[in-house]
Structure 1
Amino acid sequence: MDSRSTEPELTEPKPSAPQITPPPKLPAASPRKALLMVGGVVLLLIVGAVVTALVRIHNGDVLAKETEQEATPTVAVVHPVAEKPDEELVLPGTMQAYEESPIYARTNGYLLRWYKDIGSRVTKGELLADIDTPEVDQELMQARANRQQVLAQLDLAKINADRYVNLRKTDSVSQQEADQQSSGYEQAVANLAAADANVRRLEELESFKHVYSPFTGVLTKRTVDPGALINAGVSGAAGKELFDIAQVDPLRVYISVPQSYAPSIKNGMDAEVTLQEYPGQKFKGTVARTAEAIDPATRTLLTEVDVPNKKGQLLPGSYGEVHFRVGMNAQKVTLPVNTMLFRQEGAQVAIVGIDGKLHLRPITIGRDYGTTLEILGGVEVGDRVVINPADSLEEGQPVNVVPENGPPVPGGQ
C-alpha cells in the first residue's frame, strides 16, 4: 500500500465566526422629547423655505429695478442762460399794402386795350383798360328803340283817354269804355317806366366797358392782354382778374408781440423799422392798433404799425425788423437750438421736474442767434431742459438724467 494512504490526513482548522456584540439597550425616549425633535426639524425646514423665498423675491426686485432703469430713457440737460435785460424790443415784421384789391370786369366782352402795366402809379378814377362789348351795345340800342315804341303808345293812349273823357260828358260812350281807355293810358305809363329802367340798366352795364382805378396806388399785377375774352364775375365763377392794385403809402407792418411785452404796447407809440437792404436807415412809424387779445396758439399780440412811404422805398411783402422802446426789463433767457421740440402744439421744450418726470412746456421764441435762441417766455433760469429730445418723449414720462460727471441718476437726484 502507498505510504501516503496510511498517514493520517492533515486538515487546516476552520476559522471560527466572529461574535457580534449586541448594542446596549438604551432606555426609550419620552414622547415629549420626540415631539420637540420633530418640531425642530420642521422649524428648520420652514425657516429654510422662508429664507429661500425672501432671497428669490429680493433678486426679483433687484432684477425688476435694473430692467426698469434700463428701460427708462436717459437724457442730458442744460440750464437756460439769463440775458442782460434791455429796454429795446426788436421783433420781425411783415409789410403789407395799406389797401389792396383785385379788379374784375363787370361786363362781358373782349379786352380792347390796356393803358397801365405793372409798376404804374395811378390815381383814383384813372382809366386802366377798355373792353369791347358788342352784345351789350346791341341790347342797349334795342332797349332804346323799345322805349321809343312805348313812348309812342303812351301818346296814343293819352289822346284816346282824353277823347273818351270828353265823350263821356255828353253820354256818347259808356262809363266802362271811358274807364278802359283811362286804364290803357296808365298801363302805357308803367310800360314807359319799365323801358326807362331797362335802358338805364344797360347804359350802366355798358359803362363798365371802361375799367377805372378804385383808389390811388400802384398796379402790382396784370393778367390779360388785348383780345382776351372777358367774363363778368369774381374769382371762382366765370370771371377773371384783370389787375391788382395796392396803396403803398403808408404801409402796414404786422408784428406778433410776445405776451410778456404786450402791456407795454400802446396805440400811438413810436416805432422804427429797419431792413437789411437799407443798412443804417430807420423808417419811423406809429403803432396804429392792436388786436386787443392774445392769440392762444402763439401767446402773442398782433400789432399794426403804419409807416409813411412817400419815396416808395418800402415794398409790400418785405421782411423787416421793428424796434420798440418798451421801457421795461422783461426776463429773457437763451437756449441751444437742439433743445427745441416742434409739434402740432407749436414750439416746446422738455423740462425735467423735481419728481424726475418730463413736463412739456410751450415757449415764445425771440431772436435767433444761430446756435442759440432767445426765449421770451415759458422757461426759467433754474429749469432743467433736455438736450436733443426724442420725438417719442411724452408728458409725465420718467427719465434718468446724466450728470456732468458720473453714471445716469434716476430723476437727476
Structure 2
Amino acid sequence: MSSEAITHAPQKLSKRGLRLTGLIVAVVLIAIVVIGLITRASQASNIKTWTQEQAVPTVKLVTPMPGDKGPVLDLPGRLEAYVRAPIYAQVSGYLKDWKTDIGAPVKAGELLGEISTPEIDQQLLQARADLASAKANADLAGITAKRWQAMLGSDSVAQQDVDQRTGDYAAKVAQMKAAQANVDRLEATKAFARLIAPFDGVVTARDTDVGALVNTGGGAGQELFVVSDIHKLRVYVQVPQAYGPSIRPGSDAVLVVPEYPGREFHAQVVATSNAVNATSGTTLVQLMVDNADSKLMPGSFAHVHFSLPADTAALRVPASSLIFDNGGLRVATVDGDNKVAFKKVSILFDYGKSVEIGSGLEAGDHVIDSPPDGIKSGDQVKIATDNAAAKPHEKA
C-alpha cells in the first residue's frame, strides 16, 4: 500500500467522526431546548394554577351565638343623704353661739346653736304681765258675780244686775285665756331660738356664725345648719327609656366612685318613677347603698353599673366581622356553595371585642371573621383548614 492511500484513509475517518459528533451535539442541544420548554410550560401552568388558587381568598368563619350574660349598663349617678334636713330660723335675732361644726355627729334633740331674741323676750314679758292683769280681773269679777248671785235670793238685787255681773265674769275669764294663749305662743316661739337636730346624723353644713343677723326661714332666711343621715345613701340615676323595663325594684347594681379607684360598692334598686321625662327621654331610678363606714359622701358623683338580663333572641359576633361602607352596616356570610352573601345588621349592644346583633342574622349563619378587603357578594371563598366547620363565637 502506498503512503498516499494511507494518508487518505485517516482523513475520511476524521470527517465521519466530526459529523457524528456534531450530530450528537445537535441532538443534545435540541433535547435541552425541548426539556427547557417543557419545564417552562409546566412551571407556567403551575404558576397559573397557584395564582388562580390564591385569587380565591381563604376565610375564617364564626357562628353567631346568644350570650349567656346580659350587657352592663354604665350610667352616671348622684349620691344623696338618706335624710337631709336644712335648719332654718323660725325667729329673728342674732346668733348667740353655735355648738356643732361641720362633720360633727349629732343626736336627735342635740343643740346646734342658739339665737338671741331680745324683741321676743320683751314681748313675752309684756304678755305675762297682761296675763297677770287678766287673771286678777277675772278673779275679782268671779268674786263679784258670786256675791250678787247670793244677794239674788234675798230679792235685794234685780236679776238684770246679777246677769250683768255673771256676764262680766265670763268675759274676764275669756280675756285671761286669750292672754294665756298669747304667753304660750311667745314661749313656743322663744323655744325656736334653740336650734336642735331633728334626728341622729352628721352636720354637713354650717352657714352662719356668732353675731350674724338671722331672719326667719322662707324667702329672706337662709340655711343655718344642715343635718344629714348618712348611714345609708340614696343614689339617683336617669335610665334611658329603652332600658327602663329591665331595671325594677330589687335589682342589684355596682357603684364606682372616683375617690376609691378599684373599689366597688353594692346598691339595690328601691324605686322607679314609672314615668319618662319628656325632655331627656329617661326615667328616674332610686337605689339604696349601705354607708355604715361613712366612706361615701352625699352629693358626690358615681358610676352605676347595671347588669341587664341577657336577650336570648340577640346573637353575638366578633366586632372584627362588621363591615361599614356605602352599603351600611353589614356582615359577610358564606352559603352552602362557599359563596359570599352580605347581610345588613343592626347593633343592639357593643361589648368592645364583640357586638350583640339585634336584627339581620340567624343562628345558623356562617359569618366571615375579618373579611378581606374588596370582597364582593357572590365571590368564591375557601374555608380555612382549621375552620372546616364554622366555629362558634366565644361568648363575651
Structure 1 distance, partners of 2:130, 2:230, is: 48
Q: Which amino acid aligns with 1:317?
A: G
Q: Deviation at 1:216?
A: 2.2
Distance in 2, Cα, partners of 1:298 & 1:366: 21
- Alignment of 1:263 with 2:245, yes or no, is yes
Pairing of 1:34-45 with structure 2 (within 5 A):
none
Q: Which amino acid aligns with 1:156?
A: L
Contact 1:271 1:325 in 2 (8 A): yes
SS of match in other structure, 2:198: coil
How far residue 380 of structure 1 moved from its aligned partner, in angstroms, is 7.9
Q: Does 1:249 align with 2:234?
A: no
Q: 1:288 aligns with which of 266, 270, 274?
A: 270
Quote the offset at 1:96 in angstroms: 1.4
**In the aligned structure 2, how far is the partner of 1:376 from the partner of 1:227?**
65
Gap change, CA 1:88 and 1:249, over 3 Å in 2: farther
- Aligned twin of 2:187: 203
Q: 2:161 matched to 1:185?
A: no
Q: Is the 8 A contact 1:260 1:376 kept in 2?
A: no
Q: Does 1:226 align with 2:226?
A: no
* Separation in structure 2 between the aligned mates of residue 375 and residue 177 of structure 1, nearest angstrom: 102
Structure-2 residue corresponding to 1:309: 291
Paired with 1:184 and 1:161, the residues of 2 have a C-alpha distance of 8
Letter in 2 for 1:258: P
Shift of 1:218: 2.1
Counterpart residue number, 1:37: none
> Taking every aligned residue pair, what percent have the same amino acid on both sides?
40
- Unmatched runs of 5 consecutive residues or more in structure 2: 1-63, 320-327, 329-347, 362-372, 375-396
Q: 1:265 to 1:108 in 2, by over 3 A?
A: same
CA distance in 1, matches of 2:121, 2:269: 51
Q: Which residue of 2 aligns with 1:90?
A: 73
Pick aligned residue for 1:123 from 97, 107, 129:
107
Runs of 4+ more than 4 Å apart: 330-333, 365-369, 374-377, 379-382
Counterpart amino acid of residue 259 in structure 2: E
- How much has 1:375 moved relative to structure 2? 11
Counterpart contact for 2:73–2:308, Cα < 8 Å: no
Residue identity opposite 1:256 in structure 2: Q
**Aligned 8 A contact 2:241 2:283 in 1:** yes
Cα distance in 2 between the residues matched to 1:281 and 1:106: 44
Matches of 1:238 and 1:296, distance apart in 2: 34
How much does 1:186 deviate? 0.5
Question: Hey, what's the Cα distance between the residues in 2 that align with 1:381 and 1:89?
Answer: 23
Does residue 288 of structure 2 align to residue 319 of structure 1? no
Displacement of 1:320 in angstroms is: 1.6
User: Partners of 1:243 and 1:231 in 2: how far apart?
Assistant: 14
Aligned to 2:132: 148
How much has 1:268 moved relative to structure 2?
1.4
Q: Which amino acid aligns with 1:329?
A: D
Do the aligned partners of residues 264 and 297 (structure 1) sit closer, same or farther apart at CA in structure 2, a change above 3 Å counting? same
Say how many residue pairs are matched: 271
Distance 1:264 1:375 in 2: 19
Write the distance in 2 (CA, Å) between the matches of 1:283 and 1:300. 24
CA contact (8 A) 1:91 1:257 kept: no
Contact 1:91 1:366 (8 Å CA) reproduced? no
**How has the CA–CA distance of structure 1 residues 380 and 243 changed in structure 2, closer, same or farther, with 3 Å as cutoff?**
farther
Alpha-carbon spacing, 1:240–1:366, altered in 2? closer, same or farther (3 Å): farther
How far 1:368 moved relative to its partner? 12
- State the partner residue of 1:328: 310
C-alpha change, 1:376 and 1:248, in structure 2 (3 Å) is: farther
Aligned to 1:44: none
> What is the CA deviation profile of residues 35-58 of structure 1, one whole-angstrom value per residue up to 9, with x for unaligned ones?
xxxxxxxxxxxxxxxxxxxxxxxx
C-alpha distance in structure 1 between counterparts of 2:350 and 2:106, whole Å: 39
CA contact (8 A) 2:205 2:226 kept: yes
TM-score (norm 1): 0.59
1: CA distance between counterparts of 2:80 and 2:297?
Answer: 8
Structure 1, residues 316-375: CA drift from partner, whole Å, max 9, x if none? 122222222322239799x9xxxxxxxxxxxxxxxx9xxxxxxxxxxxx99999xxxx99
The residue type equivalent to 2:120 in the other structure is V
Distance 1:317 1:375 in 2: 35
2: CA distance, partners of 1:380 / 1:298: 26
The residue type equivalent to 2:128 in the other structure is R
Assess, with a 3 A threshold, how the Cα gap between structure 1 residues 198 and 225 changes in structure 2: closer, same or farther.
Answer: same
Q: What's the secondary structure of 1:179's corresponding residue?
A: helix
Q: Counterpart of 2:145 in structure 1: which amino acid?
A: A
Corresponding position of 1:174: 158
Using the TM superposition, give the Cα deviation of residue 256 of structure 1 relative to its aligned residue in structure 2, in angstroms. Answer: 2.0
RMSD of aligned Cα (Å): 3.5
Q: CA deviation at 1:315?
A: 1.0
2:97 corresponds in structure 1 to 113
- Following superposition, the deviation at residue 276 of structure 1 comes to 3.1
- Secondary structure in 2 matching 1:292: coil
What SS does the corresponding residue of 2:173 show, helix, strand or coil? Answer: helix
Q: Is the Cα–Cα contact under 8 Å of residues 132 and 209 in structure 1 kept in the other structure?
A: yes
SS state at 2:169 partner: helix
Question: Structure 1: how far apart are the matches of 2:79 and 2:243?
Answer: 21
Q: String of CA shifts for 1:352-409, please: whole Å, max 9, x gaps.
A: 9xxxxxxxxxxxx99999xxxx9999x9889xxxxxxxxxxxxxxxxxxxxx99xxxx
Provide the rounded CA distance (Å) in 2 between the counterparts of 1:178 and 1:366: 95
Q: What secondary structure is seen at the aligned counterpart in 2 of 1:313?
A: coil
Q: How does 1:46-65 map to 2 (within 5 A)?
A: none
Higher alpha-carbon deviation: 293-302 or 180-189: 293-302
